């Protein structure tokens, strides 16, 4: 059983997945952020690979990408930073990025390096499903990496079921057809969440985009296995209180802990 499967087996709802950009706020912040997230109660973490044109992301995450790139972060440097990550981090870890830099690095080289350091899953929003199935699925499976697909309110039931068939780990349900950090009216999204719930998919589902507080986290978790938070956490790291203090305060608010 993989680390991702184990989390969902142990925790049937309210799984908290936090995204952050590697190399932000400082080049050497990556491991400190990971330790803080694990210690403060995140169930899994998405490590963002900075890219100059992150098309699915809103201004906050775009800015964190820019800062990280200016700090000198690259895919190779990220792998170097994470080479001993499993000595200290036990929760599931995913790499989230875009296809262009991964292709330049080499998909198999990327997957091999990810496997060697203990990464559990990969999210590449701009890798088409057909290309994944025909060209890359076997490579991800060879290196024991779950590939996570995104769905939106406009994704057809047929496509969702095809994604469910191809996927391992979980399905990333984008709350609205917008960029990260968009603030949707979650009441208007409940029919979408209910539709997913009624489909009885084999993979767990986590909701992302617009999750920012206990209310939105709880609402998403009512219909799915939990949620993904990125923009709101990145914003908390910009507050100047330090990584551990900011992380603890943020997660306590999300989980409604005193």
Provide the pLDDT for residue 121: 98
Q: What is the pLDDT of residue 256?
A: 93
* pLDDT at residue number 145: 98
Residue 113 is part of which domain span?
Answer: 3-254
Q: Is the pLDDT of residue 52 over 90?
A: no
Asked if residue 15 has pLDDT above 50, the reply is: yes
Nearest to 66 by CA among 78, 56, 52: 52
Q: What percent of the chain has pLDDT over 70?
A: 93
d(CA 29, CA 31): 6
pLDDT at res. 250: 97
Calculate mean pLDDT across residues 226-234: 95
**pTM, to two decimals:** 0.93
Please state the rounded mean pLDDT for residues 193-215. 94
pLDDT score, position 185: 55
Segment 162-196, tens digit of pLDDT: 999 998 899 999 987 544 444 555 555 788 999 99
Distance CA 4, CA 111 (A): 17
Among 46-55, 128-137, 169-178, top mean pLDDT goes to 128-137
Mean pLDDT of the chain: 92
What is the tally of structural domains in the chain?
1
| CATH number of residue 140's parent domain | 3.20.20.70
pLDDT at residue 180, rounded to an integer: 46
pLDDT of residue 181: 43
Q: How confident is the model at residue 239 (pLDDT cuts 50, 70, 90)?
A: confident
| pLDDT tens per residue, range 104-123 | 999 999 999 999 999 999 99
Question: Regarding beta strands 226-229 and 15-21, do their DSSP bridges make them parallel or antiparallel, or are they unpaired?
Answer: parallel
Catalytic residues: 46, 57
Length of the chain: 258
> Which two three-digit tokens encode residue 158?
């047929």
């Amino acid at each position: 059983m993989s680390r991702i499967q184990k989390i969902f087996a142990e925790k049937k709802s309210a799984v908290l997945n936090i995204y952050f950009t590697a190399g932000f706020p400082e080049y050497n912040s990556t491991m400190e952020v990971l330790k803080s997230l694990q210690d403060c109660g995140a169930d899994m973490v998405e490590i963002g690979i900075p890219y100059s044109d992150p098309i699915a992301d809103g201004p906050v995450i775009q800015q964190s990408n820019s800062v990280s790139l200016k700090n000198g972060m690259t895919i190779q440097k990220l792998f170097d930073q994470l080479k001993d990550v499993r000595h200290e981090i036990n929760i599931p870890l995913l790499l989230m990025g875009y296809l262009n830099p991964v292709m330049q690095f080499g998909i198999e080289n990327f997957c091999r390096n990810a496997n060697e350091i203990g990464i559990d899953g990969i999210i590449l929003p701009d890798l088409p499903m057909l290309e994944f199935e025909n060209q890359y699925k076997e490579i991800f499976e060879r290196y024991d990496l779950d590939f996570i697909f995104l769905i939106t309110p406009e994704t057809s039931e047929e496509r969702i079921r095809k994604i469910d068939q191809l996927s391992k780990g979980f399905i990333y349900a984008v709350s609205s057809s917008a960029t990260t950090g968009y603030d949707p009216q979650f009441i208007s999204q409940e029919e979408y969440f209910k539709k997913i719930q009624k489909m009885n998919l084999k993979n767990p589902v986590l909701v992302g985009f617009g999750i920012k507080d206990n209310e939105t986290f709880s609402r998403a978790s009512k219909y799915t296995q939990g949620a993904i938070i990125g923009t709101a956490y990145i914003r908390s790291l910009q507050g100047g209180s330090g990584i551990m203090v900011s992380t603890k305060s943020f997660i306590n608010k999300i989980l409604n802990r005193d």
